[in-house]
Amino acid sequence: MKSQFRHIALIGKYHQPVAGGQQASSRQVLERVIHFLHAQGCDVVLEKETAAGSGITGHQVLDVEGMGRECDLALVVGGDGTMLGFGRQLAPYGVPLIGINQGRLGFITDIPLNKIEETLKPMLRGEYEVDDRAMMHAKVWRDGHCVFDAQALNDVVVNRGATSGMVELRVEVDGQFVATQRADGLIIATPTGSTAYSLSAGGPLLYPSLPSWVMVPIAPHTLSNRPLVLADPGEIVIDLVSGRDASANFDMQSLASLLLGDRITVKRSQHRARFLHPRGWSYYDTLRKKLHWNEGVA
């Protein structure tokens, strides 16, 4: 059976060797995937930075806009950070992504390097699980003007400065006052982001399809200030009341410096990232493997 996908974008890390001490270089992995895709009758496009960094030539090269316009699938060879970045950028175009895990953890890049061909072959024929992930649309407002605008797939994080004390943040949800919090910062995470910084700060795990977010204080001054799960909010508003050198991070991949009086608004994005997993994929299996549950159990 021929591939369901004809025009596939290949995106990859290319600066460091494969994790785990394996001998294959990043370029070798990319070339291996290209050879496999050609054997399936697929046209392969290289993402612009991937082509420049890997030195692989002889293929069409496109930027994100070009991939979104021309490709019907993106294959990401890398870690969760690479998958998040391109998932966010390709979401407006509706291009699905498949992740090949060249990183360390792999919550969303779930194809191991030693099973690329045997896992991808049925997926290209249409045997896969669809996993749509909600995103956030955040803005930073100053004196009534938007000074920063970003999408986030994992989280929006307001942090104190590196050498300063706590920040004081006034929080509203859907126009209702929640609390004024004094802490090292505040995390607003999607279900996808619930396994990232939010988890490290003591937040709960959220099933990926839940229409909810979690709000997690970072080292709060008041110990009764606990993580709060929010039901599909219309808007979260965070005002910076006090604190020096504070910043707002979006998926830890873009950053805005904040001034006193700045307002951060967070809404659900109109776009969703679409990940494809092997047939039979289970979120619970992923948690069990990545978080090492049941280790030592016979």
Instruction: Give the active site residues.
Output: 80
- Find, among 251, 270, 237, the residue nearest to 80 by Cα: 251
Cα separation, 235 vs 73, whole angstroms: 32
Quick one: tokens of 259?
């001034």
Identity of the residue numbered 263: R
- Find, among 135, 95, 88, 108, the residue nearest to 283 by Cα: 108
Residues 94-121: b if buried by 16+ CB within 10 A, e if exposed: ebbbbbbbbbeebbbbbbebeebeebbe
- Find, among 185, 264, 262, 266, the residue nearest to 233 by Cα: 266
| Neighbour tally for 147: CB within 10 Å | 14
Quick one: tokens of 3?
């591939």
Identity of the residue numbered 112: P
Quick one: tokens of 241?
């009341």
| Neighbour tally for 265: CB within 10 Å | 16
Element (H, E) at 81: helix 80-90
Q: With contact defined as beta carbons under 8 Å apart, do 111 and 278 qualify?
A: yes
